[in-house]
Amino acid sequence: MGDGMMNDRPLTGEENAMLDADLALLSQSDPAPEISGALMARILGDAADAAPRPGAAAPSSARRPASPKPGFWSSLGGFWQPVSAGFAAAALGVWIGWADPAGVTAYANPFETATFASDIAIDDLDEYASLLDMEL
């Protein structure tokens, strides 16, 4: 395609008409092939292979839900997981000790009462034991 002059200017009406005629000639003298039975069989075979299998989840054209974002713990690296867990536990202990939260107090009360009662009972047992020693 060495005609640089022609490449730089638009085609004239006559040249356009000739080119259209040439392209039409190509279409007529060498038409695009029709689908052969073999090609159709190949394409439908592919379709059968690609079709959803029985029992598989029904495909849907709806947008698939986005995968959930990774949680806080999983977003931390291997080293930082136990370190962060330690910091969290320490912070919780400080908060419980400083704020004396109602929930913790309510939970601890029965144990505290039981511990106090058992202390008294053990003291009483000691006294009974000393009485027994005296009688013996």
Partner 1 sequence: MSFDAATGEADDVLLQRFADGDQSAARALALRLTPRVLAVAYRMLGDRAEAEDVAQEAMMRLWKIAPDWREGEAQVTTWLHRVSSNLCIDRLRRRKRDGPPLEDVAEPSDPAPSPAAVMMATDRAAAVRQALDALPDRQKQAVTLRHFEDLGNPEIAGIMEISVEAVESLLSRGRRALATALRSREDI
Tokens of 119: 């202390």
The amino acid at residue 120 is: I
- Residue span binding partner 1 (CB under 8 A) among the ranges 44-52, 72-80, 88-96, 117-125: 44-52
Dihedral sign (CA 104, 107, 113, 118): negative
Q: How many CB atoms lie within 10 A of CB 108?
A: 13
Q: Residues 44, 36: contact at Cβ < 8 Å?
A: no
Q: Residues 24, 31: contact at Cβ < 8 Å?
A: no
Binding-site member from 13, 55, 59, 68 for partner 1 (CB under 8 A): 59
Q: Does residue number 35 form part of the binding site for partner 1 (CB under 8 A)?
A: yes
One symbol per residue from 117 to 136: x for binding partner 1 (CB under 8 A), - otherwise; what is it? --------------------
Say which residue the tokens 């986005």 belong to.
66
Say which residue the tokens 């690609």 belong to.
50
Instruction: Select 47 or 136, whichever has its Cβ closest to partner 1.
Output: 47
Q: How far is the CB of 62 from partner 1 (least distance, A)?
A: 8
CA distances from 117 to 49, 71, 122 (A): 77, 46, 9
Q: How far is the CB of 111 from partner 1 (least distance, A)?
A: 59
Q: Does residue number 17 form part of the binding site for partner 1 (CB under 8 A)?
A: no
Q: Does residue number 67 form part of the binding site for partner 1 (CB under 8 A)?
A: no
List contacts with partner 1 (CB under 8 A): 1-3, 6-7, 10-11, 15-16, 18-20, 22-23, 25-37, 39-40, 42-44, 46-48, 50-52, 58-61, 63-64
